[in-house]
Amino acid sequence: MIRASLAALALSCSFTAAAVAAQEPKDPYLWLEDIEGKKALDWVKKENAETDKLILDRPGFEADRKRARTILDDDRQIADPGEVMGDMITNFWRDAANPRGLWRQSPLDAYLAGKPVWTTLIDVDALGKTEKQSWVWHGADCLAPDYKRCLVSLSPGGTDADIVREWDRTTKSFVKDGFILPQAKSSVTWESADTLLVATDYGKDSMTASGYPRIVKQWQRGTPLASATIVAEGEPEDVGMSVSALVDGDKRWPVISRNKTFYTSEYRLPSSDFSTYHSTIIPETGDIRAVIEGQAIVFLNEDFGAGFPAGSLISLSIADMAAGGQVAIIPVMAPTKAQAIENVAASKTILWVKALDDVEGKLFALRRDQPNGRWSQKEVPVTANATMTIAGTVDDRDIAFVTAETMLTPPTLYAVTEGKAPQAVQSLPATFDASDMSVEKRFATSKDGTKIPYFLARKKGATGPVPALVHAYGGFRAAQTPGYLTGQPYRAGPLGLYWVEDGNAYVLANIRGGGEYGPAWHQAALREKRQNSFDDLHAVAEDLVATGVSAKGKIAISGRSNGGVLVGAAMTQRPDLYGAVISGSPIKDMRRYNKMLAGASWVAEYGDPDVPADWAFLSKYSPYQNIRKGVKYPPIFLYLSTKDDRVHPGHARKYAARLKEFGNSVYYHEYIEGGHSVGADHAEDAVRAAMLHAFLLRELVEKK
């Protein structure tokens, strides 16, 4: 009886969804979802040409492009620490001579002394020329403890899908007859020197609805991939299966993750003979952040019983979980109300935690006391009122690499040891004169009374309203932190710098949906609560008006990816407030997003448009569906990549076409390469920075 009732309910819902869909007008621009179709690409070429005509010959464009390229290619950049392999440390480096990059290594001691001696391991540009492929680096996974064999991932053109090939670090060459995975959205890790765990596209029915692997296999060296043994399977409606490894000294623990939704995963550890993988007590909403002294460090996104609140860290014995026995749950760190744990990394005996404190960085060193297993912590001073990031650790020496920067202070990389003053490994010289600039942290009040922090950069002593550029994201737990202006906003190079130098205001808004204040900050804009993030952005813009920083119609908003939903909804809701919009690799069509490329994986964030109750709230803000004839919307610059295999280019294409149909101003630029990040190299990034600057000047400064 119960099953019959549920079946009837499901059938009723399906009819309701079908009825709702039938009532909606037919999408006249569905043909623009044909990514490589001739008609669609002809449209793209026409739109690109129209934008080029408006922008490329403008006075100042070429100077902006050249300066951006110089900044991006500057040799005086931080050589970010990669993996420490014994007495060596790796780094991936891009500059003017190496636009696709060099993977290289230096003796660790030389690097720590600030005088690295680099040896090239893989020259991606040279490899691409030799193999006649437009390779984009996706990283390398080298097997400890000798780090001789590595799994190198390379993407043709910058797509998420890549090719994985085995490489020998001692001979600096790909291994003949070694492991090779064809192009796919794969997840792979070493189980042992001669066995891999592989989640990839195995053919029919092996991928989820989100386009990620559904099956994990053990692949033995010297055997064809087709003969690999299945060790785990997910369901078609899952986001996908992935594999990784927890490395604790000489001990390696392979992990299989069944990612049921974007925010829930079932973690599986191997039996002693690696023949089976079984579930653990790690909560499905938890994230494994590090491993130290046999303990898995887990971040809690939801409460995990009394004493283990959301936003805190706990530790669990890996050996006990692998054995299937009773596992003690030990609290590690619980942040204050104003804090959010963001970065976690482990060295040999210290767990390093970077927290946000009202969106400013603090570093903590935690130790596990013996014999009771309890954790103690102390704050480690680095730089006050700065954005900090844990860039890596040196295990045996208990060193953490930490970068620190502000909007006006260039990054410095520190080697941090508990109880000692941080040692500057590399400090970048200033790229611009900041002596006449200022940055302040402010708070706007959103519609429901919530205080929303934002960072404001402008000229000192500025009076009177000036054009403003507000960048925000507001989703997927991703906190937005202020960085040096040559890289703000994200993927637009020195656009923020150009804007402040012009005498205008640049703002980074910390709206809800991100992780600035932990899980609750994200959950406050989840699914049916999405309007909160739009209200937060409106509140920041209105605060700029109320305090005389800017004026209605002189405020530009910028957002990428999920930020494309944000600025799309914002401009349709408040066309009176905003004067220009920048939208990169954007999501726009919330009616069909779950049917486009990786969109199905985001249902936990947005809701399912095929469920009538969810479409009821999605339809209220979906940018594409909420464009209205007769309404004048602010000019928008849409930039994206044809090769983006995460966010479908059809979102931006259809949005542009609908806006233009109704007589609105659209600037459109679709790059062929670059994937979701758009820029495949600095040359494209520099062009984009100059184009966006020209767009803002044209629409916010020159138009009266």
Q: Which residues are catalytic?
A: 561, 676
Alpha carbon dihedral 559, 561, 566, 568, in 10-degree steps, equals: 90
CA distance 530 to 578: 20
CA distance 50 to 57: 12
Instruction: Give me 676's structure tokens.
Output: 């979701």
Alpha carbon dihedral 48, 49, 50, 51, in 10-degree steps, equals: 50
Identify the three-state secondary structure at position 390. Answer: strand
Spatial contact of 387 and 360, defined as CB atoms under 8 Å apart: yes
Spatial contact of 354 and 402, defined as CB atoms under 8 Å apart: yes
Q: Which residue shows structure tokens 């964030």?
A: 605
C-alpha separations of 616 from 287, 591, 606 in Å:
31, 11, 12
Beta-sheet pairing, 251-261 with 264-270: antiparallel
3-state helix, strand, coil in the chain (%, to 5): 25, 35, 40
Residues 6+ apart with CB under 8 A from 46: none
Closest C-alpha to 430, from 446, 452, 408: 408
Instruction: Give me 148's structure tokens.
Output: 């001789």
Residue 198, judged by CB atoms within 10 A of its CB (0-12, 13-18, 19+), counts as buried
CA distance 444 to 472: 14
Across-strand partners of 259?
240, 265
Which string of DSSP letters, residue by residue, matches 636-660? EEEEEETT-SSS-THHHHHHHHHHH
CA distance 549 to 464: 7
Residues 6+ apart with CB under 8 A from 505: 456, 457, 458, 462, 466, 467, 468, 469, 499, 544, 549, 550
Identify the three-state secondary structure at position 449. Answer: coil
For residue 118, give the amino acid letter.
Answer: W
Spatial contact of 575 and 640, defined as CB atoms under 8 Å apart: no
For residue 518, give the amino acid letter.
Answer: G
Q: Write the DSSP symbol of residue 429.
A: P
Please report how the helices 612-621 and 2-23 are oriented relative to each other, as an axis angle in degrees rounded to 10: 30
Spatial contact of 44 and 638, defined as CB atoms under 8 Å apart: no
CA distance 124 to 103: 8
Produce one character per residue of 234-268: b if its CB has 16 or more CB atoms within 10 Å, e if not.
beeebbbbbbbbbbbeeebbbbbbbbbbbbbbbbb
Closest C-alpha to 574, from 538, 624, 543: 538
* E strand residue ranges, 185-250: 187-192, 195-199, 215-220, 229-233, 240-248
Spatial contact of 256 and 277, defined as CB atoms under 8 Å apart: yes
